[in-house]
């Protein structure tokens, strides 16, 4: 095996380990094993039921430290509420058939599950309640100690492992999602420019269909950004990666604003077809100018950073200059459109491209 091949394999392994799902799986496996090992060292009253501890560990391993801690206390609280409710119902209905007791218990448990503080872990209330009534009702105190106590122990191990073992910041997932959204926006701008050149502007229906697809990617990007923000809480690595996390936030929100602007200007182009000045006759000059502006904006979207190398041409600076020149040419064209129906949509393209450049920190108005 050559040195290059070995380095490629190591690089590939590092890339795999950066994947959030892989990291979470490793943390869950280690936490479950540690929780079991700790539980079997306890007195027999607890060690005989050591399998509850790995359950708590897996429950508590989440994508972020804050989510892990939140899952731990919410799950244990839900379990305790279910156990308490089951004990009360069991004591209050001694002569009721077991089927009716369970039905009453589940109905009351579902009521408790509406408590918002429990969040997505509310389902543990009814699960724990039925478990207590059917398995632990004869000795509720011992069952609470075993089940809830060992689950809490495992959850604590899960939170500890999440905090210590490469505590996640979710940066890889967010950066990749931002890149996908960036490419989708740039490609749409380029396709719109190409259609203008070929006089095949998409219809409003086609434009809305594209925005629906973009909306899915934007939602994913927003969720990824929010996950990075949550991951910074109680995370010992947060300060080290503060700059990267801040960049994710800024880029995500900038692309969000640009997407809204692109939606407005491309919808106007689709509805009013400003490159057509008289009836169905296409004005090639206006179409070319608008296309140049959209292509240049796409280039700025696709190049978020300056190269930082003074010895080579900077693609971002080149695209910014091209966009500014294209906007200036469109502004000059506006002077020839007085009273023309193309005046409003062409003005919208000018303003949209300018505001897009501002959102991308690529333009300073005079």
Q: State the pLDDT at residue 65.
A: 80
| Mean pLDDT taken over the chain | 83
pLDDT in tens, 294-348: 899 999 999 888 776 766 668 888 888 988 898 888 888 887 776 666 677 778 7
> Could you count the other beta carbons within 10 Å of the beta carbon of residue 150?
24
Rounded CA gap, 2 and 20, in Å?
30
Domain boundaries, the chain: 17-164, 179-359
Look up the pTM and report it.
0.64
pLDDT in tens, 145-166: 999 999 999 999 999 998 887 6
User: HSE-up of 210 (CA within 13 Å, CB side)?
Assistant: 23
Rounded CA gap, 253 and 221, in Å?
9
Q: State the pLDDT at residue 308.
A: 67
Mean of pLDDT values over 152-181: 83
Q: Looking at the predicted structure, is the pLDDT value of residue 122 above 90?
A: yes
End-to-end CA distance of the chain: 60
Q: With H, G, I as helix, E, B as strand and everything else as coil, classify residue 123.
A: coil
User: HSE-up of 4 (CA within 13 Å, CB side)?
Assistant: 0
Q: State the pLDDT at residue 103.
A: 94
Rounded CA gap, 29 and 289, in Å?
58
Higher pLDDT, 15 or 255: 255
pLDDT confidence band for 4 (50 / 70 / 90): low
According to DSSP, the residues that pair with 282 across neighbouring strands are 276
CB-based contacts of 22-30 (< 8 A; 24+ apart in sequence)? 23/166, 23/168, 24/61, 24/62, 24/63, 24/168, 26/165, 27/61, 27/158, 27/161, 27/162, 27/165, 28/57, 28/58, 28/61, 28/158, 30/161, 30/165
Q: Looking at the predicted structure, is the pLDDT value of residue 231 above 80?
A: no
Q: Could you name the CATH architecture of 179-359?
A: Up-down Bundle (1.20)
pLDDT confidence band for 275 (50 / 70 / 90): low
Rounded CA gap, 298 and 316, in Å?
11
Q: Looking at the predicted structure, is the pLDDT value of residue 56 above 90?
A: yes
**pLDDT above 90: percentage of residues in the chain:** 32
pLDDT in tens, 37-52: 999 999 998 999 999 9
pLDDT in tens, 67-118: 888 899 999 999 999 999 999 999 898 888 989 999 999 999 999 999 999 9
According to DSSP, the residues that pair with 281 across neighbouring strands are 278
What's the sign of the alpha-carbon dihedral 202, 204, 206, 211? positive
- Tell me which DSSP letter residue 165 carries: S
Higher pLDDT, 238 or 349: 349
């Amino acid at each position: 095996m050559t040195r290059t091949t070995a380095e490629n394999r190591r690089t590939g392994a590092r890339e795999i380990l950066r994947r959030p799902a892989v990291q979470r799986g490793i943390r869950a496996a280690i936490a479950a094993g540690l929780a079991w090992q700790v539980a079997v060292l306890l007195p027999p009253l607890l060690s005989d039921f050591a399998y509850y501890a790995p359950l708590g560990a897996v429950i508590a391993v989440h994508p972020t430290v804050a989510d892990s801690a939140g899952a731990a206390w919410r799950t244990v609280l839900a379990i305790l509420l279910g156990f308490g409710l089951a004990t009360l119902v069991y004591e209050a209905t001694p002569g009721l058939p077991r089927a009716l007791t369970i039905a009453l218990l589940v109905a009351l448990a579902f009521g408790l599950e509406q408590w918002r503080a429990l969040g997505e872990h509310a389902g543990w209330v009814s699960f724990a309640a039925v478990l207590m009534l059917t398995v632990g009702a004869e000795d509720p105190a011992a069952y609470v100690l075993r089940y809830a106590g060992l689950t809490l122990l495992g959850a604590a191990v899960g939170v500890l492992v999440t905090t210590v073992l490469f505590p996640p910041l979710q940066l890889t997932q967010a950066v990749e999602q931002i890149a996908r959204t960036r490419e989708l926006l740039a490609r749409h701008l380029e396709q719109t420019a190409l259609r203008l050149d070929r006089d095949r502007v998409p219809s409003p229906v086609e434009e809305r269909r594209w925005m629906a697809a973009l909306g899915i990617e934007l939602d994913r990007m927003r969720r990824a950004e929010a996950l990075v923000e949550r991951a910074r809480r109680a995370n010992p690595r947060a300060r080290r990666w503060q700059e990267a996390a801040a960049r994710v936030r800024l880029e995500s929100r900038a692309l969000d604003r640009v997407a809204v602007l692109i939606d407005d200007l491309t919808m106007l182009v689709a509805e009013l077809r400003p490159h057509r000045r008289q009836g169905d006759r296409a004005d090639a000059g206006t179409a070319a100018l608008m296309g140049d502006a959209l292509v240049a904006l796409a280039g700025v979207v696709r190049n978020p950073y300056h190269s930082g190398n003074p010895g080579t041409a900077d693609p971002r600076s080149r695209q910014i200059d091209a966009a500014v020149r294209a906007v200036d040419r469109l502004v000059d064209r506006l002077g020839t459109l007085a009273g023309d129906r193309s005046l409003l949509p062409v003005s919208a393209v000018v303003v949209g491209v300018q505001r897009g450049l501002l959102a991308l920190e690529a333009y300073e108005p005079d």
